[in-house]
Amino acid sequence: MQQIGCSNELNASFAAEGYARANGAAACIVTFSVGALSAFNGTGGAYAENLPVILISGGPNCTSGNRPRNGQTDP
């Protein structure tokens, strides 16, 4: 696989779909929350066409008592 940068998560998921069509398999790595939700559009299309695309999304640390919201960092 080859790393390809995109401007947002939706574009990344559609690029992964196209990459899977051309090369047989693809992965898409995005941020958590709204970014992952947006990426479901492209991966859903890949699923409908039986293309092997995996969506990987991170998440906040769930063990800390003071969890940051999306886009914020701990003080």
Could you give the C-alpha distances from 4 to 13, 16, 66, 71, 73, in angstroms and in order? 11, 9, 34, 23, 27
Question: Are residues 3 and 29 in contact, defined by beta-carbon separation less than 8 angstroms?
Answer: no
36 in a structural domain: yes
The model's confidence at residue 69, banded by pLDDT at 50, 70 and 90, is: low
The model's confidence at residue 68, banded by pLDDT at 50, 70 and 90, is: low
75 in a structural domain: no
2 in a structural domain: no
65 in a structural domain: no
* pLDDT digit string, tens, across residues 31-56: 888 888 999 988 999 999 999 999 99
Torsion of CA 33, 68, 60, 2, to 10 degrees: 60
72 in a structural domain: no
65 three-state secondary structure: coil
The model's confidence at residue 70, banded by pLDDT at 50, 70 and 90, is: low
Domain count, the chain: 1
pTM for this entry: 0.75
45 in a structural domain: yes
45 three-state secondary structure: helix
Average pLDDT of the chain? 84
64 in a structural domain: no
What domain range includes position 36? 9-57
